[in-house]
Structure 1
Amino acid sequence: MFQLLGPGGPVIAVVGEDVVLPTHLKPNISAEDMRIEWFRPQHRDPLVHLYLLGESRNEPQNPSYSGRAALFPEELRKGNTSLRLGRVQVSDEGQYSCYIQSKSDNNYRIMVSLEVRAVGTEPVIFREADEEVEVGLLCESKGWYPQPDLIWQDSEGHNLTTEKPEILRDSLGLIVIRTRVVIKREGSSTFTCRVLQQKLHEEKVTEFYLLDACQSRPWRAAFAVTMTALTLLGIVQCVFIHRWKKSHHPPGIRNETQRKKWKYID
């Protein structure tokens, strides 16, 4: 007689990394001649890995676990029936069952829960609209699992979020979260987009500094100064040319010879 033991709680895995779902026999008798079957209950293709008659037999295996699921052959003689799962995916999260059957037809079954985690990116802020009295901002963060919270805050820490975040999934099943906020121009101030995943104890923050209406339109002031300068320059140039002509033109032209001599001035 023996017992099949497992972890005392959920196993935590990070997307893209390997994880071990630990189970073992007590006492530590050899499991080399036993049937060891790992499967996912209530799945259409439940088989994750099957060890039978001293070798792996995965003909009906769920395709998503092909090349990723394996036992520890060198540890079977010590009663180690753990499953090694490579390159964890979001879809791997859930319940796994380990079933053991000995030659004497004694069988045991234990459930192991796998929870998947992924820490996303720093939030990125985009300016979607820019008007005289208000500005529309979009904050986006990618690569999270499970879903985090995303909020906008002002410089005093007040929550500015007024709409539910938009939730998307990328090709790996990871979460892309984004939300928008409209801010009125009431002087310069700092606004914060904060992404928080409480289960992971992770927080990422990006700040956005909004200038007031005058400072945010420096090109208008520069344009006005430039046009004024050009206008003054034109006036000065006209006055200079007029005075130059007057100072270089003879007071009178007495004959045709003099007229031809000064013709180039006119």
Structure 2
Amino acid sequence: MHLPNWVLMSVLMIADGFILNGPSGPLVAPLGSSVVLPCYVDKPLPVKDLKVEWRRTDSETLVHLYQDGESRAEVQQQDYHDRAHFFTDQIQHGNFSLCLDSLTAEDEGNYTCKVYSQQDSGETVVQIKDVERLLVSGSSRSISASVGEDVTLNCSVDSHITPEHIEEVSWKKTDEDVEILVLLYQNNKTLLDSSDEQYRDRVEFFTDEIPKGNFSLRLKNVRTEDTGVYMCQVFAGRLSAYTTVVLERLDSTATKRVRTVGFIHVFLPNIMMFVAFVLWGVTEGFLYETIFCCALFILRPLMVIHVAPYLKMSGW
């Protein structure tokens, strides 16, 4: 019967005189963090002729090796250089655990710890699973603004990803299969000169918010031609993710004032008539007529509120 990996990990493997211990279940850690893969014995082993080998079980890739009294970093696979290391001072106490830094999604999988001590040997399996992916979120609704105003396009990176692990953030306008670079953040710097000419000196990040993973874009002095779809794309290690924000048709200040005056003309008379009929009902005592008239004058503005989004979509 084939046993699943998580069962194998919970088993203590006995090999010719010493017991090699591993974790009781899979290891879960955030992207970019460090994780310790446990592998240890209950009592110290002789350091002479001791060999500890960590490998990926899916590919036999050598993650790290301890041999001849020292860590042999020069023989480990390139992807693990400067990322995988032993607790060297603990090996003499029987602790052969491996620390893996800057965790990536590709690090998910099974790892085998093999220990050779003179004539004895043993191994255990450790699984890393569910490394958190790169998550980028923006605004769920379209953004609108008046010509000449400033507008904020939202883009946030999952809080588990620290800024030093973010290699690049780019804002692009992606209308009609044409990408226009709006602003670029790369190697912990905002590259203002990278912006397309039509956006230069009009876009910026909220610098104080970047350490929190907030890469929202401020677009200043909005123009009519700024309408369209904007994409915020984030690169961290071998991962990338993006979100999009839609900047809707922009209203001029004059159009906005006309619309405001129009709504006032609809609401104000109806509200005044509603109040007048309430007072009339109180003083004259015509209950049913008052209720009917009040309902009529309160339903009119409510109907306008209901149809307002459709009027906006139609360009009113």
**TM-score, normalised via structure 2 length:** 0.43
Q: Which has the higher strand share?
A: 1
* Structure with more of its chain in helix, by fraction: 2
TM-score, with normalisation over the residues of structure 1? 0.50
